[in-house]
């Protein structure tokens, strides 16, 4: 992902710089000569998975297109504490004014990628793929889901128009009609639209099977019931590697219990807090020398 070439990201960075009044950094303007030039570098203060180098570079170049940005890692790479991630050289005022915006993007996205990798590592050697959700910061979903991919995870739907995903609140609205496919739903499926249905227990799971969905989400189900659901699904198409429907475990899953969930044989595990509860990693910008 070359963030510098994405128009939407240019708008996003411009908005972030405007929010920070980067074009009116009164401290830097008072202290640093206009023509002063420096070399700086991003330093990893902890082990992490790097993500967001392109958009951090863009933050500097929005203020000065002549800023030189040399990265020593690519998004998705593991970085050890104490390693230099990238060097930035050019106009000192531009580098100092863009510093916080560049780091905010870099630290947040790297935090998501780092957290995702922990979940991906935790489910090995099981087949379950780690999925994100739509629990994202408004306006940052594209970037956050990109960070999940950099950490080895996979993206669930990006937005509401990508698939039919029937959840609890749809049940509340529809009542008993929930389990009978509406004509509009059948028409969508016939045009290739994927269908996923949420089930909260084994009774609902068996009803969902009759709808012949592509995926059934096993939401907040206990391990023993997830195992039973997998066994029922597997019995429907014995001897094939292309088991349908795919099964997605969701709800209340964390690093302490995810391995047990993965061991049940589900295909996907969706984790909302990959993006909804993120700790930014610790990366600093250090001034190396005046040039």
Residues 3-114+278-290, CATH architecture = Alpha-Beta Complex (3.90)
CA angle, 16 as apex, 14 and 18 as ends, to 5°?
70
- Encode pLDDT of 61-107 as tens digits: 999 999 999 999 999 999 999 999 999 999 999 999 999 999 999 99
- Encode pLDDT of 166-214 as tens digits: 888 887 887 777 777 666 776 777 678 899 999 999 999 999 998 889 9
Residue 86's closest CA among 137, 13, 16, 105? 105
The enclosing H or E element of 219 equals strand 215-219
Residue with tokens 């050019």: 90
Asked whether the predicted pLDDT for residue 3 surpasses 60, the reply is no
pTM tops 0.75, yes or no: yes
- Encode pLDDT of 143-153 as tens digits: 999 999 999 99
Q: Rounded mean pLDDT of 246-274?
A: 96
Q: Report, as residue numbers or ranges, the catalytic residues.
A: 100, 135, 167, 198, 219
Return contacts of 73-76, CB within 8 angstroms, 24+ apart: 74/50, 75/1, 75/50, 75/51, 75/113, 75/146, 75/150, 76/49, 76/50, 76/51, 76/113, 76/149, 76/150, 76/151, 76/152
Asked whether the predicted pLDDT for residue 223 surpasses 60, the reply is yes
Q: Which distant-in-sequence residues (6+ apart) come within 8 Å of 70 by Cβ?
A: 86, 87, 88, 89
Domain boundaries, given as residue ranges, for the chain: 3-114+278-290, 120-276
Class of domain 120-276: alpha beta
What is 58-127 written as a DSSP string? Answer: HHHHHH-TT-EEEESS-TT-EE-TT-EEEEEEEEHHHHHHHHHHHHHHHHHHHHHHHHHHHHHHHTTTS-
């Amino acid at each position: 992902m070359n963030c510098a070439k994405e128009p939407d990201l240019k708008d996003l960075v411009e908005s972030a710089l405007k929010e920070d009044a980067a074009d009116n950094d009164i401290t830097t303007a008072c202290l640093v000569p206009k023509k002063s030039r420096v070399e700086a570098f991003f330093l990893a203060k902890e082990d992490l998975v790097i993500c967001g180098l392109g958009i951090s570079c863009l933050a500097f170049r929005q203020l000065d297109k002549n800023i030189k940005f040399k990265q020593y890692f690519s998004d998705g790479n593991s970085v050890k504490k104490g390693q230099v991630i990238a060097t930035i050289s050019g106009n000192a005022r531009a580098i100092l004014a863009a510093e916080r915006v560049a780091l905010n993007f870099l630290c947040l996205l790297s935090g998501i990628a780092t957290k995702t990798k922990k979940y991906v590592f935790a489910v090995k050697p099981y087949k379950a793929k780690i999925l994100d959700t739509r629990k994202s910061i408004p306006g940052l979903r594209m970037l956050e889901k990109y960070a999940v991919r950099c950490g080895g995870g996979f993206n669930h739907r990006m937005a509401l128009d990508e698939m039919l995903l029937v959840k609890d609140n749809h049940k509340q609205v529809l009542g008993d009609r929930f389990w009978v496919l509406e004509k509009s739903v059948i028409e969508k499926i016939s045009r290739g639209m994927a269908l996923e249905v949420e089930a909260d227990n084994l009774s609902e799971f068996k009803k969902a099977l009759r709808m012949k969905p592509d995926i059934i989400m096993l939401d907040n189900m206990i391990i023993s019931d997830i195992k039973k659901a997998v066994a029922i699904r597997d019995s429907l198409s014995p001897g094939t590697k292309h088991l349908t429907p795919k099964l997605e475990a969701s709800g209340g899953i964390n690093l302490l219990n995810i391995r047990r969930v993965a061991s049940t044989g589900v295909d996907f595990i969706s984790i909302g807090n990959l993006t909804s509860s993120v700790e930014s990693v610790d990366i600093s910008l250090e001034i190396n020398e005046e040039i």
